[in-house]
Structure 1
Amino acid sequence: MLSIGSEAISFSLKDQNDSVVSLESLKGKNVLLSFHPLAFTPVCEEQMKSLEKNFDTFRSLNTVCLGISVDSVYCKKAWADIIGIKNISLLCDFWPHGGLAQQYGVFLGDFGFSGRVNILLDESHKVIFKKIYPIKEVPDINEIIDFLKSRK
């Protein structure tokens, strides 16, 4: 996994709306890469809902949140509709399978999906925070919000 201070690895992935989201297009904004194993799982649902619930707070902190998993566009679209995700981009690291998660060192090859990991990038897209969470634990979104507030 990238170390604190490392330059983020550039990417372009489709989201649940079949739109391409690139890291380059987010220059000047903090970016939270919120890796989660799989759509349609309870802990991942809570993780993504916490991003959606705090969308305005993150926006006020100049931060874009991206949920990332190995699921396809169609799967992510159905899931977003079911769980009420309207503002957060759910990126599809579908093909090559888990390619971005592999580049970021968070892919769990024995399982075929990423770990549950939050990586926060600053406005110049250097890693400023990273944490691996147990697969069955919802990440505490307040630790990210508090971290961002402490940098103001």
Structure 2
Amino acid sequence: MESQPHMVRPGDDAPTFALKDQKNTTFSLLEHAGERVLLSYHPLAWTEYCAAQMLSLEEKRSVFSSLDTVPIGISVDSVPCKAAWADHLKIRHTPLLCDFWPHGQVARQYGIFRDANGFSERANIIIDQDQTIIFAKVYPVHSVPDIDEIIGFLKKE
């Protein structure tokens, strides 16, 4: 079995990637050089904790914009799944990326894929304008990360 890379840490270069979102639009990390990006990993769509986590990104969209930060949801779900879920939750602006195939490849690159479960950790990872990791934290799977913690961190940077 291939060993998984360590979880990214502040100071690491952000692994680059391009994934489709719920609108079937490609999101490329490289195209966001010069901006901060929040990768908000959630295990699976259609779960209570994941819904609350993604809704917090959508609800705080203007705050993130004022902090020059692009919030992104990301999980191993497929584009059709994410499209239906975003519609159900009324998420209109926050990209919900699909790390579907190869299954969990980006989560693996970031060192947060849970092989035993087939999905990623619940995690928030912030990438700065130079594509360097400046924040990385894993949360309990059955919890909702405190979005105000992330906003507070961004305000200090």
The answer to whether TM tops 0.5 is yes
Instruction: In structure 2, list runs of 5 or more residues that go unmatched.
Output: 1-6
Q: Which residue of 1 aligns with 2:126?
A: 120
Whether 2:152 is the aligned partner of 1:131: answer: no
Q: Which residue of 2 aligns with 1:30?
A: 36
In structure 2, C-alpha distance between the alignment counterparts of 1:3 and 1:78, rounded to whole Å: 33
**Structure 1, residues 29-62: CA drift from partner, whole Å, max 9, x if none?**
1000111000000000000000000000000100
One-letter amino acid of the counterpart of residue 105, structure 2: G
After TM superposition, the score normalised by the length of structure 2 is 0.95
Structure 1 residue 3 displacement after superposition:
1.6
The residue matched to 2:74 in structure 1 has which SS?
strand
Identity, in percent, stands at 54
In structure 2, C-alpha distance between the alignment counterparts of 1:26 and 1:56, rounded to whole Å: 18
In structure 2, C-alpha distance between the alignment counterparts of 1:34 and 1:15, rounded to whole Å: 13
Structure 1 residue 84 displacement after superposition:
1.0
One-letter amino acid of the counterpart of residue 12, structure 1: A
The residue matched to 1:149 in structure 2 has which SS?
helix
Q: How many residues align?
A: 151
* Structure 1 runs (4+) greater than 6 angstroms displaced: none
Structure 1 vs Structure 2 CA RMSD = 0.5
Whether 2:48 is the aligned partner of 1:54: answer: no
One-letter amino acid of the counterpart of residue 5, structure 1: G
Q: Which residue of 2 aligns with 1:98?
A: 104
Q: Which residue of 1 aligns with 2:150?
A: 144
After TM superposition, the score normalised by the length of structure 1 is 0.98
